[in-house]
């Protein structure tokens, strides 16, 4: 392939990888800090896409839709944590798996009742609708660059939050030693609620910004969920840094795989996972 093609595929890899990172970061954070595995994480992604659809119709503006959707998703995350998830931090993983599986059904049906089963599109805002010319006959969509930009910003924000703020310090302390943290007067319940809400918001925002490209359709959560799981397994559960590296790796393997080896493209990522497991059964960056 020529250089322009290669560049396009590389950019696509990074864009896909960064999107996966947003999902995987939320999942791995929630597991690392609260010990909860959430099969319904893909449903938040779907929620984001449907919110983008409805809210951009309502507000007439994609930007307002994203902001509104983000706020709604934080509230939703806080409520969900308060009424359900907080009671499952100490339950064993089997119970969590089944509970969140039940939630998938409930979320899918709720979506069906609220929005119906049709496929929808979300328009790319005019400002971002152009392309950047790479060569005389190759160009790259601005919107995908925008997506990458948002993901990078959020990734930086997450890094700063966890490593450079007092809230982040409390979060890390809570993960390390819950009882000690509580006895120091830090409100661990609030920390958990905040972390959960961040996880939900990341997943939902990923769905929102992806919606113009991926469309909005039923069951869109399942496909992305499994990729998310693969990323978390490869990266090491509980490690946000691992999730980033694994996500980019998966993005590269998947994108270039589809171009270079289309017959086995679907299997390549799993083969990558199998190879990693042989070498490091607990992921690249075990927590």
Contact 77, 63 (CB under 8 A): no
Q: Which of 2, 60, 92, 166 binds another protein (CB under 8 A)?
A: 92
Nearer of residues 36 and 147 to another protein, judged by Cβ: 36
C-alpha 132/C-alpha 122 separation (Å) is: 21
Task: Output 63-68 pairs: Cβ under 8 A, ≥24 positions apart.
Answer: 63/125, 65/208, 66/205, 66/208, 66/209
d(CA 245, CA 10): 15
For residue 263, what is the enclosing H or E element? none
Q: Which of 108, 155, 158, 198 binds another protein (CB under 8 A)?
A: 108
Q: How far is the CB of 107 from another protein (least distance, A)?
A: 8
Rounded Cα gap, residues 270 and 265, in angstroms: 10
- Of 232, 240, 249, 253, the one binding another protein (CB under 8 A) is 232
Give the other-Cβ count within 10 Å of 109's Cβ. 10
Q: Supply the minimum distance, in Å, between the C-beta of residue 204 and another protein.
A: 20
Q: Using CB under 8 A, which residues numbered 238 to 267 contact another protein?
A: 266-267
Least gap, CB of 220 to another protein (angstroms): 15
**Residue range at the interface with another protein (CB under 8 A); choices 129-137, 179-187, 192-200, 230-238:** 230-238
Residue 149 makes contact with another protein by CB under 8 A: no
* Count of Cβ atoms closer than 10 Å to residue 36 Cβ: 23
- Residues in contact with another protein by CB under 8 A are 31, 37, 87, 91-95, 97-99, 101-106, 108-110, 112-113, 222, 226, 229-230, 232-233, 237, 266-267, 270, 273-274, 277-278, 281-283
């Amino acid at each position: 392939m020529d250089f322009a093609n290669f560049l396009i595929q590389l950019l696509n890899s990074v864009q896909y990888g960064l999107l996966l990172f947003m999902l995987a970061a939320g999942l791995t954070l929630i597991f690392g800090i609260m010990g909860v595995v959430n099969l319904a994480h893909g449903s938040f992604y779907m929620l984001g896409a449907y919110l983008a659809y409805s809210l951009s119709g309502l507000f007439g503006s994609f930007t307002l839709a994203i902001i509104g959707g983000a706020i709604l998703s934080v509230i939703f995350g806080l409520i969900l944590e308060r009424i359900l998830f907080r009671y499952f931090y100490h339950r064993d993983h089997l119970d969590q798996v089944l509970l969140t599986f039940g939630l998938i059904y409930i979320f899918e049906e709720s979506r069906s009742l609220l929005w119906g089963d049709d496929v929808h599109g979300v328009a790319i805002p005019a400002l971002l609708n152009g392309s950047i010319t790479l060569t005389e006959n190759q160009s790259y969509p601005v919107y995908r660059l925008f997506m990458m930009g948002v993901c990078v910003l959020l990734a930086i924000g997450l890094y700063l939050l966890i490593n450079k703020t007092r809230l982040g310090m409390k979060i890390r302390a809570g993960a390390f030693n819950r009882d000690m943290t509580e006895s120091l007067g830090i409100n661990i319940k609030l920390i958990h609620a905040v972390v959960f809400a961040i996880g939900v918001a990341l997943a939902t925002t990923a769905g929102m910004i992806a919606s113009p490209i991926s469309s909005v359709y039923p069951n869109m959560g399942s496909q992305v969920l499994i990729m998310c799981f693969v990323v978390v397994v490869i990266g090491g559960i509980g490690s946000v840094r691992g999730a980033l590296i694994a996500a980019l790796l998966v993005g590269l393997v998947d994108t270039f795989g589809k171009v270079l080896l289309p017959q086995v493209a679907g299997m390549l990522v799993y083969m990558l996972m199998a190879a990693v497991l042989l070498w490091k059964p607990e992921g690249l960056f075990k927590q």
